[in-house]
Amino acid sequence: MTLPRATDVFVIGGGPAGLAAAIAARRRGCDVVVADGAVPPIDKACGEGLMPDGLRAARSLGIDLETVPSQRFSGIRFRDRDSCAESRFPHGYGLGMRRTTLHSRMVQLAAGAGVRLAWGMAVTGIGAETVSAAGQAVAARWIVGADGGHSRVRAWAGLDSFHHESCRFGFRAHYRIAPWSEFMELHWGDACQLYITPVSADEICVAALSRDPHLRLAGALPRFPAVARRLAHLDPLRPAAELGGVTASRRLKRVWRGRVALVGDASGSVDAITGEGLCLLFQHAAALAAALEAGDLSLYQDAHRRIGRRPEIMANLMLLLDRRNRLRRRVIHGLAAHPWLFNGMLAAHVGEFSSLL
C-alpha cells in the first residue's frame, strides 16, 4: 500500500490492539491508517482465551468472533495439589482461539470497515502531528501507539514514566488432544502456573507462567503430574512449537500527550494471570474512539484509569497467591469447600457485580 499524504488517525502497530483502535475510530467516521513492520497473521505468546466481558467488549466494536474456529468454555477451574475449585461464568461463556486466528479475523474486519492497512512498513519516528514511514512524513491529526509492551511510540512521546512495574515470563504451545473439561484450567504450583485453554474440539493451548526466564514448558510440565500424564505421548504442534514472551504488570502515569495516545500493552498492562489482556484492549479502543470524536484525549486518560482498576486489583490478588504458597493452598482449599466464594470472585473478575447481589 502507498501511504497517503494525510489521515485523521495513524495507528502504529497492527496487532489486535491497533486493529481494534482502528476499527473503533473508523466506526466514528475517521479516516484511519494502520502501519506495522510485520505481515499477518501476527502471533504472540498468550493463553488464547477471551472471557465473557472481553467478548462483550469486542461485540460493542462490531468485532464478531463467533464465526471463526474456536471453542467455548463455561468457566474457570483452579487446581493446586489435591484441591480443585471451579465456577461457571454468571452469564455467557468464554472463547478460546488461536492468536493467529484472532488476528486474521480482525485484519479482515478492519479492511472491510475501510481501514487502510500498510503491512511490512516500519514506522521510524513521529513528530507533533506527523508520522515518518517508508521515507515520507504523513500528516496525522491523531497518532495512536499500539506497538506493544516495548513501545517505541511511548518513548518517542515521552510517556515512559510509570507508577510501578513487574515482569514475569510465559511460554506457550499447542497440543492435538480433545479438551478434557468445559473449563479454562489454571493449575497452580510453587512459583509457576499452567494455563489450559481449549481452542478447538481437538486442540488445547498450554501456557506456563513464572518469574524464571529460563523455565520452558518441558521444565514446567513435570511440576503438574496430572497434566504431564495427559500430554506424555504428544509433541507440541508446529509451526512455532513453543513461543515465549514477557508478561508485565505496568501502570503508566499518563497514556497521552499532545496528539499521541497509547492503547493495549503500549499503554500499560496487567499480568497475563488475569486473562484480561484482550478485554482491556477492546475497552481501550472504544474509550479512545470516543475521546477522538470529542477532540479531547484527557477523556481517554480518565476512562483508561477506570478500565484498568478492576483488572489491576485482581492481578495483585492473584500474584499474591503466586508468591505465598501456604496462603494460596488455604485459599484454594477454601474456594473448593465453599463454591459460592469462587462464584463471587469470578463474577467480580468478569465485571458481573450485579451477580453478587
- pLDDT of 257 reads 97
- pLDDT of 357 reads 39
Pairing of the two strands 183-189 and 130-133: unpaired
Give the whole-angstrom CA distance, residue 342 versus residue 86: 7
The answer to whether the beta carbons of residues 47 and 205 sit under 8 Å apart is yes
- pLDDT of 2 reads 86
The answer to whether the beta carbons of residues 50 and 305 sit under 8 Å apart is no
Give the whole-angstrom CA distance, residue 316 versus residue 276: 13
CA atoms in the 13 A half-sphere facing the CB of 120: 3
Whole-model pTM?
0.94
Domains of the chain: 6-70+96-165+249-356 (3.50.50.60), 167-245 (3.30.70)
329-342 pLDDT, tens digit each? 999 999 999 999 99
Pairing of the two strands 203-210 and 192-200: antiparallel
- pLDDT of 45 reads 85
Average pLDDT of the residues of the chain: 94
Per-residue CA distances from 308 to 250, 270, 311, 349, 350 (Å): 11, 8, 6, 12, 13
Grid coordinates belonging to 31: 479516516
Grid coordinates belonging to 5: 499524504
- Point out which residues pair with 77 in neighbouring strands: 86, 185
168-214 pLDDT, tens digit each? 999 999 999 999 999 999 999 998 999 999 999 999 999 999 999 99
Segments of the chain scoring below 70 in pLDDT: 164, 353-357
Residues making up the chain, counted from first to last? 357
Grid coordinates belonging to 346: 469470578
- pLDDT of 353 reads 56
